[in-house]
């Protein structure tokens, strides 16, 4: 019975560990040699692990809007870069701009470099991306 319990525990850890490993992916889908900027209205901030996502609606010339998604660090990593990063740093409906590395295939997603908040503050999201200084050179959330 003791061996069966150990076997079940090891099996459970193996299954859980593999699910976590599969959920984490590389940034190979983004073109880190390019940098773009778009402005839009906040749709949602997914403050989650292993990567957070910011979703904004970007207006088109015809008056319609496209949902764009921007991947960035985990909450703990983001808060370590700048003290202003919090779950409620933006609200649905806020007007923001984002600087990002685009998707290699032109999809409406990117790797977030900076989030420009409604008050004009440029919140760093990914060190070294799109000319962002590495974390040691950041302002630390003035």
Percent of the chain surpassing pLDDT 70: 73
pLDDT in tens, 67-89: 999 999 999 999 999 999 999 99
User: What whole-number distance in Å separates Cα of residue 115 and Cα of residue 102?
Assistant: 15
pLDDT in tens, 27-71: 678 998 899 999 999 999 999 999 999 999 999 999 999 999 999
User: What whole-number distance in Å separates Cα of residue 105 and Cα of residue 5?
Assistant: 48
For 131, residues 6+ apart whose C-beta sits below 8 A from its C-beta are 35, 113
Domains of the chain: 36-133 (2.40.50)
> pTM, whole model, 2 decimals?
0.74
Find, among 71, 48, 67, 65, the residue nearest to 56 by Cα.
67
């Amino acid at each position: 019975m003791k061996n069966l319990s150990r076997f079940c525990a090891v099996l459970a850890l193996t299954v859980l560990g593999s699910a976590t490993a599969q959920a984490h992916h590389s940034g190979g889908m983004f073109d880190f040699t390019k940098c773009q900027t778009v402005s839009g209205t906040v749709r949602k901030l997914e403050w989650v692990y292993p990567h957070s996502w910011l979703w904004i609606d970007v207006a088109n010339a015809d008056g319609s809007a496209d949902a764009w998604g921007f991947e960035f660090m985990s909450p703990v990593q983001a808060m370590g870069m700048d003290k202003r990063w919090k779950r409620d740093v933006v609200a649905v409906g806020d007007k923001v701009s984002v600087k990002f590395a685009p998707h290699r295939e032109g999809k409406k997603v990117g790797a977030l470099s900076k989030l420009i908040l409604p008050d004009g503050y440029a919140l760093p999201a990914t060190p070294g991306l799109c000319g962002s200084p590495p974390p040691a050179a950041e302002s630390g959330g003035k």
